[in-house]
Amino acid sequence: MAVNLTVNGDERLLDIDGDTPLLWVLRDELGLKGTKFGCGAGLCGACTVHLNGQPVRSCSTPVELASGGQVVTIEGLSDGDRLHALQDAWIEHGVPQCGYCQSGQIMSAVHLLANNPTPSRGEIVAAMTGNLCRCGTYSRIIAAVESVVVSNTSDSSQGREA
Protein backbone atom coordinates (compact mmCIF):
# COMPACT_ATOMS: atom_id res chain seq x y z
CA MET A 1 0.00 0.00 0.00
CA ALA A 2 1.03 3.64 -0.40
CA VAL A 3 1.96 5.22 2.91
CA ASN A 4 2.58 8.91 3.33
CA LEU A 5 4.44 9.97 6.48
CA THR A 6 5.96 13.22 7.62
CA VAL A 7 9.07 12.25 9.54
CA ASN A 8 11.00 14.96 11.37
CA GLY A 9 9.40 17.50 9.05
CA ASP A 10 10.19 15.68 5.79
CA GLU A 11 7.43 14.11 3.73
CA ARG A 12 8.09 10.45 2.89
CA LEU A 13 6.11 8.37 0.44
CA LEU A 14 6.51 4.60 0.73
CA ASP A 15 5.09 1.61 -1.04
CA ILE A 16 5.03 -0.96 1.75
CA ASP A 17 2.92 -3.64 3.48
CA GLY A 18 0.65 -1.76 5.88
CA ASP A 19 1.34 -4.31 8.66
CA THR A 20 5.04 -3.40 8.73
CA PRO A 21 5.94 -2.01 12.15
CA LEU A 22 6.70 1.70 12.09
CA LEU A 23 10.04 0.87 13.74
CA TRP A 24 11.16 -1.17 10.70
CA VAL A 25 10.16 1.66 8.41
CA LEU A 26 12.13 4.22 10.41
CA ARG A 27 15.25 2.09 10.76
CA ASP A 28 15.36 0.03 7.57
CA GLU A 29 13.55 2.14 4.99
CA LEU A 30 14.47 5.63 6.19
CA GLY A 31 17.82 4.90 7.85
CA LEU A 32 16.89 6.51 11.15
CA LYS A 33 18.77 4.17 13.47
CA GLY A 34 18.43 6.21 16.65
CA THR A 35 15.18 4.47 17.55
CA LYS A 36 15.95 1.07 19.02
CA PHE A 37 14.41 -2.40 19.00
CA GLY A 38 14.21 -3.81 22.52
CA CYS A 39 11.45 -6.29 23.32
CA GLY A 40 9.46 -5.96 20.10
CA ALA A 41 6.29 -6.45 22.13
CA GLY A 42 5.37 -2.98 23.36
CA LEU A 43 6.80 -3.59 26.83
CA CYS A 44 10.12 -1.76 27.19
CA GLY A 45 9.76 1.65 25.50
CA ALA A 46 13.11 1.52 23.67
CA CYS A 47 11.31 2.15 20.37
CA THR A 48 9.32 5.20 21.55
CA VAL A 49 8.70 7.92 18.95
CA HIS A 50 6.05 10.62 18.72
CA LEU A 51 3.11 10.12 16.37
CA ASN A 52 0.91 13.20 16.03
CA GLY A 53 2.37 14.51 19.27
CA GLN A 54 1.81 11.36 21.31
CA PRO A 55 4.46 8.85 22.38
CA VAL A 56 3.94 5.47 20.71
CA ARG A 57 5.73 2.14 20.69
CA SER A 58 6.92 2.01 17.11
CA CYS A 59 7.65 -1.75 17.34
CA SER A 60 3.96 -2.45 17.70
CA THR A 61 2.48 0.34 15.58
CA PRO A 62 1.63 -0.86 12.06
CA VAL A 63 2.78 1.75 9.58
CA GLU A 64 -0.71 1.97 8.08
CA LEU A 65 -1.91 3.46 11.39
CA ALA A 66 0.69 6.20 11.02
CA SER A 67 -0.16 6.98 7.40
CA GLY A 68 -0.86 10.66 6.92
CA GLY A 69 0.65 11.39 10.33
CA GLN A 70 3.50 13.38 11.77
CA VAL A 71 6.32 11.30 13.23
CA VAL A 72 9.16 12.69 15.33
CA THR A 73 12.16 10.54 16.22
CA ILE A 74 15.21 11.25 18.35
CA GLU A 75 16.93 12.59 15.21
CA GLY A 76 14.23 15.25 14.92
CA LEU A 77 14.70 16.82 18.36
CA SER A 78 17.75 18.92 17.62
CA ASP A 79 17.76 22.12 15.62
CA GLY A 80 20.88 21.75 13.50
CA ASP A 81 23.77 21.61 15.97
CA ARG A 82 21.56 22.87 18.78
CA LEU A 83 20.38 19.96 20.92
CA HIS A 84 17.06 19.83 22.73
CA ALA A 85 17.39 20.99 26.37
CA LEU A 86 16.76 17.42 27.53
CA GLN A 87 19.53 16.07 25.29
CA ASP A 88 21.91 18.63 26.81
CA ALA A 89 20.74 17.57 30.29
CA TRP A 90 21.33 13.89 29.42
CA ILE A 91 24.92 14.74 28.48
CA GLU A 92 25.47 16.97 31.51
CA HIS A 93 24.26 14.26 33.89
CA GLY A 94 26.07 11.43 32.07
CA VAL A 95 22.79 9.52 31.95
CA PRO A 96 23.50 6.71 29.45
CA GLN A 97 25.34 3.55 30.36
CA CYS A 98 25.02 1.20 27.37
CA GLY A 99 22.71 3.82 25.85
CA TYR A 100 20.33 1.37 24.26
CA CYS A 101 17.14 2.54 25.97
CA GLN A 102 18.00 6.22 26.00
CA SER A 103 16.41 7.53 22.82
CA GLY A 104 13.09 6.09 23.99
CA GLN A 105 13.66 7.59 27.45
CA ILE A 106 14.31 11.02 25.98
CA MET A 107 11.26 10.86 23.70
CA SER A 108 9.05 10.10 26.70
CA ALA A 109 10.63 12.91 28.73
CA VAL A 110 10.20 15.37 25.85
CA HIS A 111 6.50 14.52 25.67
CA LEU A 112 6.13 14.98 29.43
CA LEU A 113 7.73 18.43 29.48
CA ALA A 114 5.89 19.55 26.34
CA ASN A 115 2.64 18.96 28.20
CA ASN A 116 3.75 19.79 31.74
CA PRO A 117 6.90 21.98 31.85
CA THR A 118 7.15 21.82 35.65
CA PRO A 119 6.20 18.30 36.76
CA SER A 120 6.77 17.09 40.32
CA ARG A 121 9.18 14.21 40.93
CA GLY A 122 6.18 11.89 41.27
CA GLU A 123 4.84 13.04 37.91
CA ILE A 124 8.25 12.48 36.31
CA VAL A 125 8.49 8.96 37.75
CA ALA A 126 4.94 8.18 36.62
CA ALA A 127 5.54 9.49 33.11
CA MET A 128 8.79 7.55 32.70
CA THR A 129 7.60 4.31 34.23
CA GLY A 130 6.95 2.60 30.89
CA ASN A 131 10.54 3.06 29.74
CA LEU A 132 12.75 0.30 31.09
CA CYS A 133 16.52 0.51 31.52
CA ARG A 134 18.47 -2.69 32.07
CA CYS A 135 21.46 -0.62 33.19
CA GLY A 136 19.46 1.03 35.98
CA THR A 137 20.05 4.65 35.01
CA TYR A 138 16.74 5.73 36.53
CA SER A 139 18.14 8.10 39.15
CA ARG A 140 20.21 9.96 36.54
CA ILE A 141 17.21 10.15 34.21
CA ILE A 142 15.15 11.79 36.96
CA ALA A 143 18.00 14.17 37.83
CA ALA A 144 18.37 15.19 34.17
CA VAL A 145 14.64 15.82 33.75
CA GLU A 146 14.52 17.74 37.03
CA SER A 147 17.39 19.98 35.90
CA VAL A 148 15.32 21.08 32.89
CA VAL A 149 12.26 21.50 35.12
CA VAL A 150 14.27 23.85 37.35
CA SER A 151 15.24 25.91 34.35
CA ASN A 152 11.62 25.96 33.12
CA THR A 153 10.50 27.08 36.60
CA SER A 154 13.06 29.86 36.62
CA ASP A 155 12.04 30.96 33.09
CA SER A 156 8.38 31.12 34.06
CA SER A 157 9.05 33.05 37.30
CA GLN A 158 11.20 35.53 35.38
CA GLY A 159 8.34 35.85 32.92
CA ARG A 160 5.97 36.68 35.77
CA GLU A 161 8.34 39.35 37.09
CA ALA A 162 8.79 40.94 33.67
Binding site for ligand FES (CB under 6 A): 37-40, 42-47, 57, 59, 96-102, 133-135, 137
Nearer to ligand FES, 19 or 156 (CB): 19
Which of 42, 117 has the CB closer to ligand FES? 42
* Rounded least distance, CB 110 to ligand FES, Å: 17
Nearer to ligand FES, 96 or 119 (CB): 96
DSSP string for residues in the chain: -EEEEEETTEEEEEE--TTSBHHHIIIIIS--TTS--SSSSSSS-TTEEEETTEEEEGGGSBHHHHTT-EEE-GGGSSBTTB--HHHHHHHHTT--SS-TTHHHHHHHHHHHHHH-SS--HHHHHHHHTT---TT--HHHHHHHHHHHHHHHHHHHHHHHH-
Closest separation in Å from C-beta 99 to ligand FES: 5
Distance of closest approach, residue 159 Cβ to ligand FES, in angstroms: 35
